[in-house]
């Protein structure tokens, strides 16, 4: 059985470095102490939409924050003929205004089933969430840059409605440009660019929550003329935080994804991609065993050995393998969680990997830039970071249908028994194997806290400008 096999693999991790739940003590440094919690939220069969995610790192940057005028977010979605795109992103210098599409969303394919290419900004709408009384744009004490907290403004108790064109608000399609670029028959790159630079009140726009849905699944995030549903749209519209609504919309994966024990690494800012790089082959350092069998031993030992031989060693390497409240290592059942702790300083980044157990060689991890643990102003991050995690294919074993493949961990006769693929590491949206995989948001909930009691403003304006949002991603 899958669970038994992973318990055996994890129980082999007896080196002092690995311990029974977290890694070795970090080097002494100034900064903050962090705790990461990874919870398995799968197994309830409530996932509805085919693709859902958060795009929060502007192009050419590596830190989650607001996109300033002339900056953009880019992301790639998997879609088929008939699918549509809905999204939401805060107009930062407001009380509760946000960009989005109509209830029907933006069509990703034309009537002939061909992927649409080009500018679709004419379908962008600026909305008022109806949750907070509006103040003069760009000056209100309870707006993102100036509010004392996410719920500081006066409650409006209104409905979601279109913001009309005024002296303050030009037409929405002049404030935000949305461009579609087909990559393959089923992959479309979306670019959302902030074009408020010439507006009466230029602004940053928050990270973007996006949903791919069918034409029949109208109004996935809100409905025109109705009150906010209380699932988290208010947090996007008032404080730019997409991490509350995103998991509520994503629901739960249909079956237990079988999250395995994993490895974490803390690096300094110039040590990127310590474990893998998209588009390159597995380095033969243990990622294969992690991705195919849920065993982090070899990868942890390789990273530790590399760190010891480097002139600028990794800050910390460790394994998380014992669920909270358990008395021995093992994988995560739905509702269970791993936790690990570490110390980090400004400039440091977090990487981790753990297997998506009901697969041949898929794993959860941040991208090769890792997760910046401090904002550009040196504030330690806190709150939900699930939107920064992706599902990856290691390219080491040929994929079979998830949850049923004979060479997947729950059913294979022994570790490393599937057909070798000799491929490269890719995000799952770039894999064309014909199978459907649950979203990360319907599989895991990942939160991070720090002992300084601070919640970073991950959408702050660059140094020298007003901070945009008073709250970014509080843990829930």
Asked whether residue 294 is domain-assigned, the answer is yes
Q: What is the pLDDT of residues 138-171, one digit of tens each?
A: 888 888 777 777 778 778 999 999 998 888 889 9
- pLDDT recorded at residue 309: 67
Contact 67, 58 (CB under 8 A): yes
Give the structural domain span for 24.
2-44+253-450
Are 359 and 374 in a shared domain? Answer: yes
Residue matched to tokens 């900004």: 121
Across residues 239-247, what is the average pLDDT?
93
Handedness of CA 155, 156, 161, 167 (dihedral sign): negative
Can you give the pTM of this predicted structure? Answer: 0.86
- pLDDT recorded at residue 455: 62
In this predicted structure, the answer to whether residue 410 has a pLDDT above a threshold of 80 is no
Q: Which of 232, 249, 266 is the last residue of a domain?
A: 249
Q: Provide the edge-to-edge strand list for the sheet that holds 72-78.
A: 72-78, 187-194, 176-182, 118-119
In this predicted structure, the answer to whether residue 312 has a pLDDT above a threshold of 70 is no
Asked whether residue 384 is domain-assigned, the answer is yes
Are 218 and 296 in a shared domain? Answer: no
CATH number of the domain within which 429 lies: 2.60.40.2130
Q: How far apart are CA 441 and CA 152, in angstroms?
A: 28
Q: How far apart are CA 129 and CA 236, in angstroms?
A: 9
Asked whether residue 464 is domain-assigned, the answer is no
Asked whether residue 472 is domain-assigned, the answer is no
Query: What are the structure tokens assigned to 269, written together?
Result: 């800012």
Asked whether residue 264 is domain-assigned, the answer is yes
Are 445 and 302 in a shared domain? Answer: yes
Q: Which of 230, 249, 268 is the last residue of a domain?
A: 249
Are 169 and 311 in a shared domain? Answer: no
Q: What is the pLDDT of residues 107-118, one digit of tens each?
A: 999 999 999 999
Are 303 and 167 in a shared domain? Answer: no
Asked whether residue 429 is domain-assigned, the answer is yes
Phi, psi of 198 (to 5 degrees): -100, 5
Asked whether residue 457 is domain-assigned, the answer is no
Are 280 and 395 in a shared domain? Answer: yes
Asked whether residue 391 is domain-assigned, the answer is yes
Number of domains comprising the chain: 2
Q: What is the pLDDT of residues 253-310, one digit of tens each?
A: 888 898 999 999 999 877 889 999 999 999 999 999 999 999 999 999 999 988 776 6
**Which of 68-72, 79-83, 175-179, 419-423 shows the lowest per-residue confidence on average (mean pLDDT)?**
419-423
- pLDDT recorded at residue 454: 64
Chain mean position to CA 243? 8
């Amino acid at each position: 059985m899958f669970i038994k096999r992973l318990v055996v693999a994890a129980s082999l991790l007896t080196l002092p470095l690995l311990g029974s739940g977290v890694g070795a003590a970090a080097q002494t440094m100034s900064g903050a102490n962090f705790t990461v919690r990874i919870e398995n939220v799968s197994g309830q069969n409530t996932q509805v939409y085919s693709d859902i995610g958060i795009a929060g790192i502007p192009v050419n940057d590596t830190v989650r924050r607001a996109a300033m005028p002339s900056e953009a977010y880019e992301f790639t979605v998997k879609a088929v003929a008939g699918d549509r795109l809905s999204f939401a992103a805060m107009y930062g210098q407001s009380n509760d205004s946000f960009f989005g599409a109509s209830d029907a969303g933006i069509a990703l394919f034309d009537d002939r089933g061909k992927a649409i290419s080009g500018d679709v900004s004419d379908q962008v709408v600026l909305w008022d969430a109806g949750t907070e009384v509006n103040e003069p744009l760009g000056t209100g004490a309870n707006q993102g840059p100036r509010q004392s907290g996410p719920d500081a403004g006066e409650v409006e108790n209104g409905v979601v409605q279109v913001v009309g064109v005024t002296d303050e608000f030009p037409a929405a399609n002049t404030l935000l440009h949305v461009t579609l670029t087909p990559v393959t028959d089923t992959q479309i790159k979306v670019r959302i660019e902030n074009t408020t630079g010439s507006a009466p009140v230029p602004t940053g726009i928050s990270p973007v929550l996006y949903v791919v849905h069918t034409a029949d699944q109208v109004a996935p995030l809100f409905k025109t003329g109705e009150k906010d549903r209380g699932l988290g749209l208010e947090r996007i519209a008032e404080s730019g935080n997409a991490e509350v609504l995103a998991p509520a919309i994503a629901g739960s994966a249909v079956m237990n994804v079988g999250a395995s024990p994993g490895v974490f690494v803390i690096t300094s800012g110039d040590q990127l991609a310590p474990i893998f790089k998209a588009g390159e082959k597995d380095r033969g350092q243990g990622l294969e065993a992690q991705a195919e069998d849920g065993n982090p031993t070899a990868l942890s030992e390789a990273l530790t050995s590399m760190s010891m031989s480097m002139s600028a060693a990794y800050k910390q390497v460790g394994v998380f393998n014992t669920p909270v409240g358990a008395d021995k290592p093992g994988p995560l059942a739905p509702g269970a969680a791993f936790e690990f702790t570490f110390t980090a300083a400004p400039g440091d980044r977090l990487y981790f990997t753990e297997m998506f157990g009901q697969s041949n060689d898929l794993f959860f991890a941040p991208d090769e830039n890792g997760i910046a643990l401090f904002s550009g102003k040196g504030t330690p991050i806190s709150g939900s970071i699930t939107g920064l995690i992706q599902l990856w294919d290691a390219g080491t074993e040929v994929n079979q249908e998830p949850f049923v493949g004979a060479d997947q961990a729950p059913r294979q006769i022994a570790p490393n028994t599937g057909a070798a693929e000799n491929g490269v590491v890719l995000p799952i949206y770039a894999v064309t194997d014909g199978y459907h995989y649950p979203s990360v948001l319907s599989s895991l909930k990942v939160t991070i806290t720090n002992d300084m009691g601070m919640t970073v403003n991950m959408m702050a304006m660059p140094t020298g400008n007003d901070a945009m949002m008073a709250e970014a991603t509080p843990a829930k």
